[in-house]
A and B are shown apart, each in its own frame.
Chain A
Amino acid sequence: MTWRQRVGKAIPYVLLIISIIPVTVGYLWLLISPFSTKTEGLRSLGWTLSNWSFLWKPPFGLNYPSIWRVTLNTFMVATSMAVFVVLVSSLAGYPLSRLKFAGRKSFLSLTLIVHAFPSVTLLIPIYFVLRFLHLFNTMVGVALVMVAFELPFGVWLMKGFFDNVSWDMERAALIDGASRFRVWWQIIIPTIKPGLAALAIFAFLSGWNAYLIPFTFTIGRAGKTAVLSVYLQNFQGDTVMTNWNMVTAVGLFQLIPVMFFFIFTQEYLLNIYAGGAKGGA
């Protein structure tokens, strides 16, 4: 290898390393800070576990929900996201991909427009809708809105996966004596399992990390309906200094399950970016 070739090969690496440095520094700080009494940059000025006391002792008094209650809330929102987004999307995506009916194309374009619509602009109307339905400040209300916002994406993604299933297989099943529903349930759904898994994981993660919608449609950080991202706000008081070390501890606590989840499921998650091209894999 000549000198020029070596430099040519090194350039992409150098560029990549430079661009990931800020991200890496952030994560390193997130790993160091929760276990430190104080930090100077990435340097810990003393190690401690006291930042993790929120796990057994509510840091803001007994009127505030415990971290475990909040975690359970978050888990419930994320799980309902995964379950309902997958259920509705796979039921809606199949007819949109396979059947011909009046309004199919306009429905698809409408879904795309809704997906592109900035959800922030809908917050106030949705507030009134939730009040009307008596779902304001409930987990059901939050989950409902989150699922609804995720559906356009899910429906389109599922339609893409269904589009990639061969017609012949479906025809063969119809000739073999299956009903349309059985074809969907026993033949098509099993072949697009990777797609379903990908969407479920994606929906779970966006439910776990959600902030804006839970924050808007619950009475806030002190309520029984708080989720982790909202709970974090409790640490930023107006009157006391923010204990950043404890904030990072809660942040890390929120991140850990997701990290493990992602490590085990990233292969499936990548299917989303492959657009379902390997739906049968």
Chain B
Amino acid sequence: MHNAQFSIPNCALRVGGDMKVTLERLTKHFGKVVAAGDIDLDIGDGEFVALLGPSGCGKTTTLLMIAGIYKPTSGFIKFDGRVVNHLPPKDRNIGMVFQSYALYPHMTVFDNLTFPLKLKKTPKEEMAQRAQRVADMMGIGHLMDRKPAQLSGGQQQRVALGRALVKEPNMLLFDEPLSNLDARLRLSMRGEIKRLQMDLGITSIYVTHDQVEAMTMADRIAVMNEGRLQACATPDDLYDRPETLFVAGFIGNPPMNFIDVEVVRENGDYHARREAFDLVVPAERGEKAAGKGSVILGIRPEDITIADEGITGEIYIVEPLGRDDLITVHIGEAGVHVLADPTLGLRMGQTVRLDFNMHKVQFFDPQTEKSLLWTD
């Protein structure tokens, strides 16, 4: 059952339609706590946007405001340019999938699927047809008479997704829908949801704290932290051109290394320097960081390689990850993570030389924590 694929026959559902979502200075306070502050975001028709951030960053609050469950303290939510701040959830024509599935435990799968249709007073025959169609699409057509407690986690999530789709919504909202599934199932559901969203062309907003989910599924990722929108960009842009220190550190696993350096210009070359550390930086990156005093250099573990030449360091610990070894190397007082080939047989305490791919380095202002390369 877990390997069932969603199957989408032609014209199965009339979901989607034109639905653009605009958030303007959207703010939500709970007492004195700012759960979400000044969020500006444009979501295009048919776009898949992930809201990504650590726990308590305000991503679910933002989603629930879009759903109409929370009323914004200030700012606007617009659907196709129309302000919907005060529209109750039932009039927004959205489907939502929750982490806990939120199925109605006393109802069968069929009753769960038809609950939204009953409330819309859909004729009985049409209701049954639509429920069957969605259930077949989700691969749960044979489970109609079961109660949620008799289903596996994956099946429950399919019912939840089916219930969100059956009313033919203009938009789908996901609140960490895969977090309760085991790793293997999560992987396959990830692909299926992405495929379903593309085939239906439905505008989707997906809240997650799992960056892999966000990177693999979303057209664009909105990274949030402490109630603020940090950045919104395509996965590649976020990875290669992070605009803030937080985004750089949050996106990517293992996370980016940060080293305090000073960038100076000498004989036409730019050097990033600190104790036991001197590297030549390509001019187009170096010139933006030079003369700013102490700056933060960021480099991803995969952009550092063990080589015959380069910076000298001592291996502090070796952590095998299977495909790679994650090595922590101490360079003077700084420590960096490096991904190395396990066949090198590196050991603790060994002295190695590190080659930094300086075409991939990032520089951040330590005060503003903004990128010196990608922001003005």
The bracket for how many chain A residues form the interface is 10 to 19
In the complex where A176-B116, A178-B119 touch, is A171 in contact with B98 (Cβ < 8 A)?
A: yes
Chain B nearest CB from A276 CB (Å) reads 15
Q: How far is A270 from B115 in the complex, measured between Cα atoms in Å? A: 32
With A and B bound together, what is the CA distance between A280 and B103 in angstroms? 12
Residues of B within 8 A of A172 (CB): 96, 98, 102, 104, 160, 163
- A171 and B105: CB pair below 8 A? no
Q: Within the assembled complex, what's the spacing in Å between the Cα atoms of A9 and B144?
A: 51
Query: Which A residues between 156 and 215 are near B, CB-CB below 8 angstroms?
Result: 166, 168-169, 171-179, 182, 187, 190-191, 193
Question: Using Cβ atoms and an 8 Å threshold, which residues of chain A touch B69?
Answer: 171, 174-175
A-B contact number at CB 8 A: 65
A195 to B: closest C-beta gap in Å: 13
**Complex Cα–Cα for A172 and B95 (A):** 9
A168 and B98 within 8 A (CB): yes
Q: Which of A168, A169, A175, A191 is the one whose CB lies under 8 Å from B94?
A: A175
Contact of A177 among B100, B106, B120 (CB under 8 A): B120
B84 CB, nearest partner CB in chain A, Å: 13
Judged by a CB distance under 8 angstroms, whether B67 is at the interface is yes
| CB-based contact B102/A166 at 8 Å | yes
Which single member of A168, A174, A191, A193 contacts B90 (CB below 8 Å)? A174
B105 touches A176 (CB 8 A): no
Q: Are A171 and B106 in contact (CB under 8 A)?
A: no
- Contact status B115-A171, CB under 8 Å: no
- Which chain A residues border B175 with CB–CB below 8 Å? 168
Could you say which of A171, A179, A182 contacts B96, with CB atoms under 8 Å apart? A171
The digit string for B79-122, where 1 denotes a CB below 8 A from any CB of A, is 00000000011101011101111111110000000011001100
In the complex, which range does the number of interface residues on chain B fall in? 20 to 34
Tell me whether B167 is interfacial, beta carbon within 8 Å.
yes
The closest CB in chain B to the CB of A178 belongs to B119
Specify which chain B residues have a CB less than 8 angstroms from the CB of A190 in the assembled complex: 104, 106
A172 to B69, CA, bound (A): 10
- Give complex CA distance A193, B106 in Å: 10
- Which residues of B lie under 8 Å from residue A176 when comparing CB positions? 90, 115-116, 119, 163, 167
Which residues of B lie under 8 Å from residue A168 when comparing CB positions? 98-102, 175
Binding site of A, secondary structure by majority: helix, strand, loop or mixed? helix
Known: A166-B102, A168-B102, A172-B102. A178 touches B90 (CB 8 A): yes
Complex Cα distance, B88 from A82, in Å, reads: 36
Residues of A within 8 A of B89 (CB): 171, 174-175
Q: How far is the CB of B163 from chain A (nearest CB, A)?
A: 7
Using Cβ atoms and an 8 Å threshold, which residues of chain A touch B96? Answer: 171-172, 175
Chain A residue numbers with a CB within 8 Å of B92 are 175
Within A191-247, which residues are at the interface with B (CB < 8 Å)? 191, 193
Cα-based distance from A190 to B148 in the complex (angstroms): 14
A173 touches B104 (CB 8 A): yes
B64 CB-CB contact with A under 8 Å: yes
Most chain B CB inside 10 Å of its own CB: which residue of A168, A176, A191: A176
Looking across the interface, which residue of chain A has its beta carbon closest to that of B107? A190
Q: How far is the CB of B335 from chain A (nearest CB, A)?
A: 42
Bound Cα distance A193, B105 (Å):
12
A178 to B89, CA, bound (A): 9
Known: A168-B100, A176-B167, A280-B105; 9 extra A-B contacts, CB below 8 A, are A171-B89, A171-B98, A172-B102, A172-B104, A173-B104, A174-B89, A176-B163, A177-B90, A178-B115
Sample 13 A-B pairs with CB under 8 A, ordered by A number.
A166-B102, A169-B102, A169-B104, A172-B98, A174-B68, A175-B67, A175-B89, A176-B163, A176-B167, A177-B120, A177-B167, A179-B90, A280-B105
Binding site for B on A (CB under 8 A): 166, 168-169, 171-179, 182, 187, 190-191, 193, 280
**The 4 A-B residue pairs with the shortest CB-CB distance in the complex, in nearest-first order:** A168-B102, A177-B119, A177-B90, A176-B116
Chain B residues within CB distance 8 Å of chain A: 64, 67-69, 88-90, 92, 94-96, 98-106, 115-116, 119-120, 160, 163, 167, 175
